[in-house]
Amino acid sequence: MIKAIGIILCLLCSLGISAQNKPAYILYNAKGKQIGYDKMLKDLLKQEVVLFGEIHNNPISHWLELKIAQECGEKRAIRLGAEMFERDNQEPLNHYLNGKLTSKGLDSSTRLWKNYKTDYAPLVNYAKEKKLSFVATNVPRKFASMVSKGGFEALNSLQSLEKTWLAPLPITYDANLPGYQKMLTLMGDHASPNMAKAQALKDATMAYSILEHMKKDELFIHYHGSYHSEFHEGIMWYLQKSRADMRIATIATVSQKNIQSLLPEHLDKADYIICVEEDMTGTY
């Protein structure tokens, strides 16, 4: 009997070790060196802006988004903002945060993403609980669609109120930025220069929204698809065009078959890189 118990204990120990060797994610710095969560958090707290790049359906991204907000919020004043809310929906979002609108009312009065309830509602509800600002930073999607079809010139037809929902015209744009070039390459025969301009409109508007709402001595944490800030381009490029000395930290999320070492293609994508296995269950 004693021998049998010993065998069982050995099996349980080996299972425990196996679980420890199968982490949900591994955190890397820009150079591909594994780094501890606490060390990253300490650095994030020194910044003015954190650009958190997610994989939209990745649960690890969303869990860490909430955890980082909560832990930063315990140590200094923060405000949140996200690509997932468009600027013309700021009023109903504010009403929800202030308790003047129910979750059902928010759903009916804003264009919520299909994974809002599982992935973004926890962040919004955290902001509501702690009485934090949550900024709708993205351009209304119909305006991005206009640019995708007709270039920046299509925006000239907008009414005065509509123009307040995007970055000031004319939109600064560098077609030679590697991120926009890569986007067109990946789209192949379906690509047109205007598609990269639509992406730039989103990046410029999100950066403008951050600049418009950030406050001295507060940390602004912004959530968006990882490609909007990878390699310090996109949103970060526009922020630095406005103020080169701004303290900004970037986070990217990547997926790999084996997460024990970071693939060369992911090096320098961000200051901190969350690496998850490619077969991680998606939220949609």
What span, in angstroms and rounded, lies between the C-alpha atoms of 203 and 77?
Answer: 25
- CA dist., res. 143 & res. 157, Å (int): 11
pLDDT at 166 over 90: yes
- The CATH code of the domain at 25-277 is 3.40.50.11550
Report the b/e string of 228-256 with b at 16+ CB within 10 A.
bbbbbbbbbbbbeeeeeeeebbbbbbbbb
Give pLDDT, residue 20.
57
Query: Is residue 3 over pLDDT 60?
Result: no
| Tokens 């993403």, residue located | 113
Boundaries of every domain in the chain: 25-277
SS3 for 222-283, per residue? EEEEHHHCHHHCCHHHHHHHHCCCCCEEEEEEEEECCCCCCCHHHCCCCCEEEEEECCCCCC
The per-residue pLDDT for 191 is 76
Q: Enter the pTM of the model.
A: 0.91
* pLDDT single digits (tens) 231-267: 999 999 999 999 999 999 999 999 999 999 999 999 9
Portion of the chain with pLDDT greater than 70, in percent: 93
Instruction: List, in sequence order, every residue forming a beta bridge with 34; answer none if it has no partner.
Output: 28
How is residue 30 written in tokens? 């820009």
What pLDDT is stored for residue 64 in this prediction? 98
